[in-house]
Amino acid sequence: MIIDGTESSLRAYLKTLPPVDEVGAHARAAMLATRSIKTTSKSWAIDMAISMVDLTTLEGADTPGKIGTLCAKAVRPDAMDATVPSVGAVCVYNDMVKIARTKLDAIGGTSIPVAAVATAFPSGRASFAVKAQDTKDAIDAGAAEIDMVIDRGAFLSGRYGEVFEEISQIREICGDKAHLKVILETGELVTLDNVRKASYLAMLAGADFIKTSTGKISPAATSPVVLVMLEAVRDYYSLTKTRIGVKPAGGIRNTKDAIKQLVLVNEVAGPKWLTPKLFRIGASALLNDLLLQRMKMRDGFYAGPSYVTLD
């Protein structure tokens, strides 16, 4: 046990974390971004990235029809090519979970989990009773993954105990029915020191995944942030022998960005993390670019956006 569950022990532990070398983190992330991935490695990386995508729609204008087409795309991303793997999960709002689950089951996507954003996503500004009910609803509707947001206001004011308590209670509600992803919203945490602290806090409170952002705030999943989070899960593994996943979300729009993320994973956390079980990419537009690049590798000429589905 790293901490005994009390706020004072948590506070004491977070204090022991070494500060992040911001300049070093930026430099290392930039250096790793210059890696050139070509030919067979690139093909492998594209397919791996596709299988790691949490295909997401989180719009006020979402409709059952849109969720339906998203699910169809999740199962068979390229309608013309059955060799393209299915995506990692479908990520929707609470009220769309049942629709997504039913649709996926009906079209052969039983193995694709539905992830629901919960706890008053994206701001997290609601009473705990509402957040708990939000989570329960989603699980009852068939969500196998819960993407919760932390209370950034509490975290930034230093009320770590409150944040910890909330995550642990949502963890309890999830039980063994749902995976818990904790969204740190790194764009609001400002410093990399805070990102490191929040990562440990979430992992200690029982997160299965730590996720960078909601996608509603910019900057979102920048490389230095992902680097710090990957270091956190790596170090946490050496402390506890538990592997926690990482999910960057927001701002990863093209294949190049996605492959950069995979390079980061491989170099920082290690190849053990190169699996959809431990690394996901929250995205919507990214999938089309991955498919276009895949077509280019397959056909030898550039495809255009009119050859993939509209989202």
Partner 1 sequence: MERIYVLKTYKLFIGGAFPRSESGRVYAVKDFKGKHLANTCQASRKDLRDAVVSARSAFPGWSGATAYNRGQILYRMAEILEGRTDQFIAEISALEGANPKAAALQVEESIDLLIWYAGWSDKISALDGSTNSVSGPFYNFTIPEPIGVVAVFAAAKPSLLNLVGAMASVITSGNTAVMVASEKFPLPAISFAECMATSDLPAGVVNILTGVSSELAPWAASHMDIDAIDAAGLSPKVLKEAQIAGVGNLKRIKTPPNIKSPKRILDFMESKTVWHPIGI
Q: Which of residues 274-303 bind partner 1 (CB under 8 A)?
A: 300-303
* The CA-based dihedral angle spanning residues 111, 242, 211, 219, taken in that order and rounded to the nearest 10 degrees: -140
Strands (E), the chain: 53-56, 89-93, 114-118, 145-149, 179-183, 209-211, 245-247, 281-283
Binding flag, residue 304, partner 1 (CB under 8 A): yes
Report in angstroms how near the CB of residue 70 gets to partner 1 at its nearest. 22
- C-alpha separations of 258 from 37, 45, 148 in Å: 11, 9, 23
Residue closer to partner 1, measured from CB, 125 or 256: 256
Report in angstroms how near the CB of residue 173 gets to partner 1 at its nearest. 43
Report the distance separating Cα 7 and Cα 249, nearest Å.
Answer: 29
Per 3-state DSSP, the chain is made up of helix, strand and coil in percentages (nearest 5) of 55, 10, 35
260 included as an active-site residue: no
Residue closer to partner 1, measured from CB, 65 or 300: 300
* Structure tokens, 257: 């960005």
Binding flag, residue 305, partner 1 (CB under 8 A): yes
Residue closer to partner 1, measured from CB, 238 or 306: 306
Binding flag, residue 39, partner 1 (CB under 8 A): no
Binding flag, residue 80, partner 1 (CB under 8 A): no
Report the distance separating Cα 189 and Cα 200, nearest Å.
Answer: 14
Among residues 54, 147, 151, 289, which one is catalytic?
Answer: 147
Residue closer to partner 1, measured from CB, 246 or 292: 292
Size of the site for partner 1 (CB under 8 A): 8
42 included as an active-site residue: no
247 included as an active-site residue: yes
Q: Which residues bind partner 1 (CB under 8 A)?
A: 300-307
Active-site amino acid positions? 147, 211, 247
